[in-house]
Amino acid sequence: MNTIAVIGAGYVGLVTGVGLAHKGNRVIMVEIDPDKRHMLLQGKVPFYEPGLDTLLVQGIEQGLLVFENSVKDGLRHNPDMIFSCVGTPSLPSGDANLSYVWSVAQEIGAQVISSILVINKSTVPVGTTRSIKRIINNAIHARGLSFTCPVASNPEFLKEGDALSDFLRPDRVVIGVESDAVRQKMCDLYKPFITSLDSIVSMNLESAELTKYAANAMLATRISFMNQMAILADLVGADIDHVKAGIAKDPRIGPHFLHAGVGYGGSCFPKDVKALIAMGKDYHFPMTLMQEVDNINHFQRIWFVNQLFSYYGLALEDKTIGIWGLSFKPETDDIRCAPSLDIIDELIQRGARIVAYDPVAMPNVIQKYGSSINFAKSAHDVLMQSDSLVVLTEWAEFRSAPIENFLLLRDKTVFDGRNCFDPLHMKSLGLTYFCVGRNNNEKYADMSELTQHHESVSCSTI
């Protein structure tokens, strides 16, 4: 059993701590916010992440999860290693705010009494982990002590809504190390989580830091690429879902992150794309592709909301617009950089009334908007109160809703920002339906029937 201190009980820190405890490690969670600490000790998770609360309670009851309010108190448990999992939010410049990272490093250096492996798990610009090492060891030497602390980089690759599974069964573990001894210690730690040591990718500190940014930037690029292609598809009379099917069969491309919509959001993609742009400026190397990815993502929201403005014109001021979905994606209550917020702001500015519903994210949106918008008790209630509907998050309960229910809308009009429904089916019911990159489907009715026929034929007969 390892004793591991995890500093910061936010999204990454709590998933890390709970996951490590689930595999039998004794974990000391350091969280300075007393309200959050009290909530966690009661077994309550301050954000929505399926399954996390169950393992949190389990870890506490087994005595494998202990909570402390300072680095000093955490170090009293004599941990074998320390994970730093504090936030690195974006500054107005796009640079990562590293104030929490530096504070933790200084505190470790001021309090540690023996050599302990320090592992940075926060998403940080290239070169930060090496600076963390310097800050810690300079503080140790300033106290007249002769030992040093090795430092490793271990970026997280957690998907909100599926983070626990990602941590417990990772597709890869990236570690940045400076010695074989540290590499071996990290491999031993992660052996219970992986099926093969090939899943552990070892590299230097800088490479590990850049890998995290490169992964998120690649996924954001795929999303922005498809969103730009979707607008072109509407202009030329194509169907973006057919295009997606055509290119996804290429093994060099694959099917993932090719879904057109209103753009990416959340705490990672927007922040990391901007951080890469800022890093490029620091090194006098313009990250022009990343800048365009960011531009496209912003434009996609403007393009979508303009569909409403074009359809309603000045009459929008007399309309109640229903919103299905407020979180930036399903299975999370995270509204950071969510497309819903930009679109709601634009609709309010144009004088529209808003009635919104989300299965889990409404409390966070209420904090932001208060009484400026109305909130419904259910997805069905939104339809009962609205002239038209805007779909902004593809929750399963929305995708499975009987489309006949949309006839309850006074204007019988749906603006689908996540392509949840079939355009031909929607229009066959007399609904006006706007989506992303699939607005010319009536031209392909015969082809759609042909495709359905082929899909019903066994491959063995072809």
Q: What is d(CA 193, CA 52) in angstroms, rounded to the nearest whole number? A: 17
List b or e across 96-128, with b for residues whose CB sees 16 or more CB atoms inside 10 angstroms.
bebebbeebbbbbbebbeeebbbbbbbbbbbeb
pLDDT 10s digits, 113-166: 999 999 999 999 999 999 999 999 999 999 999 999 999 999 999 999 999 999
106: pLDDT confidence band, cut at 50, 70 and 90?
Answer: very high
Tell whether the model's pLDDT for residue 331 goes beyond 90. yes
CA neighbours within 13 Å on the CB side: how many for 288? 1
Tell whether the model's pLDDT for residue 321 goes beyond 80. yes
Q: Can you give the pLDDT at residue 445?
A: 47
Q: Can you give the pLDDT at residue 197?
A: 86
Q: Can you give the pLDDT at residue 444?
A: 47
Higher pLDDT, 277 or 1: 277
Tell whether the model's pLDDT for residue 72 goes beyond 50. yes
Q: Parallel, antiparallel, or unpaired for β 26-30 and 65-68?
A: parallel
Q: Can you give the pLDDT at residue 153?
A: 98
1: pLDDT confidence band, cut at 50, 70 and 90?
Answer: confident
Q: Can you give the pLDDT at residue 385?
A: 98
* Closest by Cα among 158, 155, 100, 105 to 130: 105
Tell whether the model's pLDDT for residue 458 goes beyond 60. no
Tell whether the model's pLDDT for residue 451 goes beyond 60. no
Q: Are 425 and 452 in contact (CB under 8 A)?
A: no
Residue type, 270: P
Tell whether the model's pLDDT for residue 233 goes beyond 80. yes
The fold for domain 214-447 equals: Rossmann fold (3.40.50)
Exposed, middle or buried by CB within 10 Å (0-12, 13-18, 19+), for 301? buried
What is the helix (H) or strand (E) element at residue 357, kind and residue range? strand 353-357
Domain 3-203: which CATH class?
A: alpha beta
Structure tokens at 287: 């990250």
What is the mean predicted confidence (pLDDT) over 191-209? 95
- Active site members: 268
Provide the terminal-to-terminal Cα distance of the chain, rounded to the nearest Å.
57
What is the mean predicted confidence (pLDDT) over 200-225? 98
Q: Can you give the pLDDT at residue 62?
A: 97
DSSP symbols for 203-259 = E-HHHHHHHHHHHHHHHHHHHHHHHHHHHHHHHHT--HHHHHHHHHTSTTT-STT--
What is the mean predicted confidence (pLDDT) over 276-283? 96
Q: Can you give the pLDDT at residue 442?
A: 61
Tell whether the model's pLDDT for residue 416 goes beyond 60. yes
Q: Can you give the pLDDT at residue 64?
A: 97
Q: Can you give the pLDDT at residue 462?
A: 35
Give the strands of the sheet with 413-416, arranged side by side: 374-375, 353-357, 320-324, 388-391, 413-416, 432-434
Q: Are 100 and 136 in contact (CB under 8 A)?
A: no
Q: Where in the chain is the domain with CATH 3.40.50.720?
A: 3-203, 214-447
Least confident of 88-92, 122-126, 166-170: 88-92
What is the mean predicted confidence (pLDDT) over 366-386? 97
